[in-house]
Structure 1
Amino acid sequence: MEEVFIKRSQQKKKTSPLNYKERLFILTDTKISYYEYFSERMKRGGKKGSIELDKIKCVEVVRAEENCPIERQYPFQIVYDEGPLYVFAKNEDVRSQWIKELSSRIRFNQELMQKYHPCFWIEGEWSCCQQSAKNAPGCCVIQAMNAFQTSGTSRRKSRKPLPPTPKEEQAMRQAPAPQPTSVPKKVVVALYDYQIMNPEDLPLRKDEEYFVLDHSDHNWWRARDAHGREGFIPSNYVVESINQLETYEWYNKEITRSKAEQLLKQEGKEGAFLLRNSSQPGKYTMSVLSKVSGDQSGKVKHYTVCVTPNNQYYLAEKHTFNTIPELINYHQHNAAGLVTRLRHPVSWQTKKAPLTAGFGYGAWEINPVDLTFLRELGDGQFGVVKHGKWRGQYEVAIKMIKEGSMSEDDFIDEAETMMKLNYPKLVQLYGVCTKQRPIYIVTEFMSNGCLLDYLKKWGRKLSSLQLLEMSKDVCEAMAYLESYKFLHRDLAARNCLVDEAGTVKVSDFGLSRYVLDDEYTSSQGSKFPVRWSPPEVLNFSRFSSKSDVWAFGVLMWEIFSLGKTPYERFSNADVVEHIIQGRRLYRPQQATEHVYNIMYSCWDEKAENRPTFSLLLSNIQELVEDDSQI
């Protein structure tokens, strides 16, 4: 296991300064080590320390300090001979996962503590009990002391626990009976059927309920079905049972106004309808297709679902309902103020289940025997790419990495982490074949190929709104990567792919770190795509999320210029000079001033003045919803 945490200095002396630094923690069979971590370059530095697992006495949650920064809201402690090591996770799931794993590994240790300090050691005293000795016994009983029962084969020596204090004894008498450890954390409903891909999985049947037992892994949850069978399920195949809207065919959660109109016109039936999230947070919009004589495609009318002060829903004020499904059921039989009654529910969700993060829980090393090669798709930067199938049924793209083109060991170390990135606008990495040469990288297959080629072939048939939708697809993916502090480093149209529905997905994220050839090498020896790079990368090879933002602006330019090469009349050396002098790409003919302003905002000379992907996505969304400015 490995994870980037914030580590607090250990204050081994009272006068030691208190500081917080990002460190990469790696857990092996015998110890936990932590290293310097350079987030801008996503690289591991020198080793800063390690703790032998058999020396650990306790792993427990720590109460977060009041008014602490958001990145320090999920602390936990690893207590060993030298005292507590305080670590801050990025969320509750990650914290729970590490505490659970470490607790499992140390359960046979000789010197396990029976009490611990639930608050921090700060400025020479424990903030929970105000004791001034750092090695003072804890003030809180560890609740999970008896969670791991010893057996005849246990390596742990038997020892009698300390007797409880009078206060603890009284509390124990008043305490409620212990609950079973496998109490379900939530109930979910399956949105799709799921056939197991490895023995640890649990099959899903659409519309049936399942009990989630463990959701510490973001992509795969351990669950139990109604028959008592347990296993792992893909988290994006289910929804909490309390959120009933997502179980209905007509609910299309995150599609835009223009996509809704496209879907309804493709259906082409009078009264075709769908419900979607409004651009206004917390609100819903009903989109309905109406056809009049002489109009073959029909017109789409959009209605905001209104809410009364008594929390009742309505489209026509005289007809209010307690729930949205009741509202829709009524209007399926009565127009009642709408342009037509709701006749035909439309959805793109039911046509195709989402992709899973890998072929089953924990399955990231793929057996090459399971792969069938169909045809060659092209010859990319890392080698030949082929269209194939996994176990004869799942379509995949297989990158056959030519030897010498990639730092293979570094890539293998990070492949499992990259596989956990699961988002609809990212090309899904299914797994790798590393037990042979050449290495294979197995990803989602995208039938319409590279975005750059797609723009050159079909660009003139695409409307400005469709081009903006493509930009939005990419921005959504980058906002997701930004939220996980993951850098792409080579964002460009050539590294995006298009699926059969015209959706654009970002590919090859992070792979540029492992390039060994000189395709992107500058005269100073740095590796980067010159025409997509900001001044700080050209001058200092300084990568960050804001250098990805610059590249996104250039990618938007590629989209609206229908696949032209940026600075096409300049050599790489001229491009560097051009950018350093403050000159920028011109406005493409297909881009309005509003669209150009968005891409131009990505090219501020100072990285800190460029917008985040989250803000860019908001700005693009506004234009998509108000297509009069496109």
Structure 2
Amino acid sequence: MESFLRERLNCLNCLWDKIWPPENPVVNVNTISSTVQHIYTDLVTALYSFDARSTDELTIEEGEELYKLSDEGEYILARKQTGSMESGLVPASYVAQSGLPGGHYTIQDPWYFEVASRTDAERLLMSPPNAHGSFLVHPSDSTPGQYSLAVRNKDKVTHFCISVSARGEFYIQNEKLFASIKELISFYKVNWKLVKSPLFQSCVWVAYQRDQWERPRIEFKLVKKLGAGNFGEVWEGLWNNKDKVAIKTFKQDHINESDFKKEVDALKSLCHKNLIQLYAVCTVGEPVYIVTELMSKGSLQQFLRGNEGHHLTAANFMHIISQVGDGMVYLESKHVVHRDLAARNVLVGEKLVCKIADFGLARLLKDDLYSLQCNMKIPIKWTAPEVLTYGKYSTKSDIWSYGIMIYEVFMLGQPPYQGMNNQEVMAKLTLGYRLPKPDQCSPDVYKLMLECWQEKPSQRPSFYEFVLKLTAIQHSVQ
């Protein structure tokens, strides 16, 4: 019997050694048991492909199995099983544990989560949009190699230990054994009364993310290119093949990485009806995606130049510039400098709703890309003199650009300083030249525009002061 079992079930040698100790043991049984457990519990499967961006990282393909050597915060140190067996860092969210005792079960189901503890599982299940009957499976935090089923039952979470038999079968109740956890879950979804906790739906993953804004690239599809600019390209896209979104793409070598995280974190904290809402980011791999809401009528510049622009009234013009002003007042209160305010960076939706886009993104670019020395990448005709001379951005330089944007609105999207090149504009501004009043602009509004273009930044109004004056003009007209 001993030789039969050792030959056909050698994966349980540590058990046979306990029942029939070898006459001349050369390795400690506990060491064998620990080693076997380490091999099984540290096998992971790549959920997505990942291209290494440095020598510290490891390129992997979707579905590839790897050995996890250690946890490194947001990454794991992994080693390939084939070829030269190279090792490197891989994003932890790109892999899932694929080995259990017996090595025959792959965990890639939506109800499986690598949460660290019962407390994390409970916090996840009790968070919206999860509800009564939501469930998940996670590694046991008390018994390595075992698993736990957590089920939300109204206003509490019930935990069930998923044990593994000597033959590698899984069970919650001793008399009911299953070849895989998937089969176990399927059984209890139907026969949930046996555990007195309904398993209605898998827990929603988006509620538990180390960074809920970071999403796998596989979730997004680029559908239609909408435009390109200093930052990269803008696409209409689909999120999970159903929700329309706007996707701005960046090349890694164009991004100032030291500022990227700080600026994107700032974007996550901003919320105003006249700012484009950030939905998600995809920063692993290339190109980087920044995903936002999609505005149906495109940029304000395009809208003004189109057929609808020619039918706008004076009240419509005031409504547009007021909305942008409100959004900029909010950014000013949050100490966020836009750096590239212009009609091309304001988007238009239904019912003439206007929202500012690309706020703060100029900081993401490497300095040499967004400079006077690099083919005039700075939008000279929208930029305040102190930026061109000293590189000093502030809300006061933004208010200068806002004045130019107002000029664009009343000129139906025509560019400012027509007939002049950048050098001529810079020279004329130094001599005190300012854009003339558009025909459709009232003297009162033009007076405010001139205040935006004061030579000294300290003499220009804040956005708050500007909007107060603009509101007063609107009320006097009505």
Interval of TM-score (by shorter of Structure 1 and Structure 2): 0.5 to 0.7
Provide the residue aligned with 1:257 in structure 2: none
Provide the residue aligned with 1:579 in structure 2: 429
Verify the 8 A CA contact 1:469 1:624 in the aligned structure 2: no
Query: For each residue in 1:107-133, what CA deviation from the matched residue of structure 2 results, as whole angstroms up to 9, or x when unmatched?
Result: xxxxxxxxxxxxxxxxxxxxxxxxxxx
Match of 1:372 among 221, 244, 254: 221
Provide the residue aligned with 1:382 in structure 2: 231
Letter in 1 for 2:265: E
Letter in 2 for 1:590: Q
Query: For each residue in 1:480-515, what CA deviation from the matched residue of structure 2 results, as whole angstroms up to 9, or x when unmatched?
Result: 000011100111111111112221111111111222
Please state how far the C-alpha of 1:622 moved relative to its aligned partner.
2.1
Cα pair distance change 1:476/1:200, threshold 3 Å? farther
Verify the 8 A CA contact 1:518 1:527 in the aligned structure 2: no
Please state how far the C-alpha of 1:371 moved relative to its aligned partner.
1.9
TM-score normalised per structure 1:
0.42
Verify the 8 A CA contact 2:280 2:290 in the aligned structure 1: yes
Hey, which bits of structure 1, 4+ residues long, moved more than 4 A? 227-231, 358-362, 517-520, 523-527
Provide the residue aligned with 1:21 in structure 2: none
Match of 2:269 among 420, 423, 447: 420
Query: For each residue in 1:411-454, what CA deviation from the matched residue of structure 2 results, as whole angstroms up to 9, or x when unmatched?
Result: 13431222111111001112211111111111111111111111
CA distance in 2, matches of 1:467, 1:360: 43
Secondary structure at the residue paired with 1:369? Answer: helix
Match of 1:507 among 357, 361, 375: 357
Cα pair distance change 1:582/1:435, threshold 3 Å? same
Provide the residue aligned with 1:464 in structure 2: 314
Cα pair distance change 1:523/1:408, threshold 3 Å? closer
Provide the residue aligned with 2:472 in structure 1: 622
Query: Which structure is higher in helix share?
Result: 2
Provide the residue aligned with 2:378 in structure 1: 528
Please state how far the C-alpha of 1:395 moved relative to its aligned partner.
2.4
CA distance in 1, matches of 2:282, 2:292: 12
Please state how far the C-alpha of 1:532 moved relative to its aligned partner.
1.3
Bigger radius of gyration:
2
The answer to whether 1:444 aligns with 2:309 is: no
The gaps in structure 1 that reach 5 residues or longer are 1-197, 206-226, 232-357
Query: For each residue in 1:225-261, what CA deviation from the matched residue of structure 2 results, as whole angstroms up to 9, or x when unmatched?
Result: xx97599xxxxxxxxxxxxxxxxxxxxxxxxxxxxxx
Higher-RCO chain (CA-CA 8 Å, sequence separation at least 6): 2
Cα pair distance change 1:590/1:361, threshold 3 Å? farther
CA distance in 1, matches of 2:442, 2:208: 43
Provide the residue aligned with 1:202 in structure 2: 128
How many percent of aligned residue pairs carry the same amino acid? 36
CA distance in 2, matches of 1:390, 1:476: 30
Verify the 8 A CA contact 2:263 2:364 in the aligned structure 1: no
The answer to whether 1:406 aligns with 2:255 is: yes
Map 1:585-600; keep pairs closer than 5 Å.
585-600=435-450
The gaps in structure 2 that reach 5 residues or longer are 1-123, 132-152, 158-206
Match of 1:601 among 434, 446, 451: 451
The answer to whether 1:540 aligns with 2:354 is: no
Verify the 8 A CA contact 1:412 1:434 in the aligned structure 2: no
Provide the residue aligned with 1:488 in structure 2: 338
Secondary structure at the residue paired with 2:290? Answer: strand
User: Mean alpha-carbon deviation: is it higher for 609-618 or for 521-530?
Assistant: 521-530
Please state how far the C-alpha of 1:517 moved relative to its aligned partner.
8.2
Map 1:158-197; keep pairs closer than 5 Å.
none
Please state how far the C-alpha of 1:535 moved relative to its aligned partner.
2.2
Query: For each residue in 1:17-59, what CA deviation from the matched residue of structure 2 results, as whole angstroms up to 9, or x when unmatched?
Result: xxxxxxxxxxxxxxxxxxxxxxxxxxxxxxxxxxxxxxxxxxx
Please state how far the C-alpha of 1:467 moved relative to its aligned partner.
1.0
Provide the residue aligned with 2:420 in structure 1: 570
Cα pair distance change 1:519/1:369, threshold 3 Å? closer
CA distance in 2, matches of 1:446, 1:476: 18
Letter in 2 for 1:577: A
Please state how far the C-alpha of 1:554 moved relative to its aligned partner.
0.6
Verify the 8 A CA contact 1:385 1:397 in the aligned structure 2: yes
Letter in 1 for 2:128: L
Verify the 8 A CA contact 2:368 2:374 in the aligned structure 1: no
Query: For each residue in 1:564-607, what CA deviation from the matched residue of structure 2 results, as whole angstroms up to 9, or x when unmatched?
Result: 11111111111111111111000011101011112111111111
Cα pair distance change 1:603/1:203, threshold 3 Å? same
Secondary structure at the residue paired with 1:556? Answer: helix
Please state how far the C-alpha of 1:525 moved relative to its aligned partner.
9.5
CA root-mean-square deviation: 3.0
Cα pair distance change 1:462/1:228, threshold 3 Å? same
Query: Which structure is higher in strand share?
Result: 1
Please state how far the C-alpha of 1:526 moved relative to its aligned partner.
8.9
CA distance in 2, matches of 1:461, 1:477: 25
Provide the residue aligned with 2:14 in structure 1: none
Provide the residue aligned with 1:433 in structure 2: 282
Secondary structure at the residue paired with 2:351? Answer: coil
Letter in 2 for 1:407: N
Verify the 8 A CA contact 1:359 1:430 in the aligned structure 2: no
CA distance in 1, matches of 2:430, 2:252: 36
Provide the residue aligned with 2:193 in structure 1: none
CA distance in 1, matches of 2:466, 2:356: 16
Provide the residue aligned with 1:454 in structure 2: 303
Cα pair distance change 1:517/1:501, threshold 3 Å? farther
CA distance in 2, matches of 1:440, 1:199: 29
Verify the 8 A CA contact 1:467 1:560 in the aligned structure 2: yes
Verify the 8 A CA contact 2:263 2:361 in the aligned structure 1: no
Secondary structure at the residue paired with 2:235? Answer: strand
Please state how far the C-alpha of 1:518 moved relative to its aligned partner.
6.6
Map 1:47-62; keep pairs closer than 5 Å.
none
Please state how far the C-alpha of 1:384 moved relative to its aligned partner.
2.7
CA distance in 1, matches of 2:375, 2:218: 40
Secondary structure at the residue paired with 1:626? Answer: helix
CA distance in 1, matches of 2:224, 2:126: 32
User: Mean alpha-carbon deviation: is it higher for 409-418 or for 362-371?
Assistant: 409-418
User: Mean alpha-carbon deviation: is it higher for 517-526 or for 387-396?
Assistant: 517-526
Please state how far the C-alpha of 1:204 moved relative to its aligned partner.
10
CA distance in 1, matches of 2:444, 2:282: 46
CA distance in 1, matches of 2:261, 2:457: 31
CA distance in 2, matches of 1:369, 1:514: 24
CA distance in 2, matches of 1:375, 1:384: 11
Cα pair distance change 1:360/1:569, threshold 3 Å? farther
Letter in 1 for 2:469: N
Please state how far the C-alpha of 1:366 moved relative to its aligned partner.
1.2
Please state how far the C-alpha of 1:464 moved relative to its aligned partner.
1.3
Cα pair distance change 1:490/1:359, threshold 3 Å? farther
Match of 1:475 among 325, 330, 338: 325
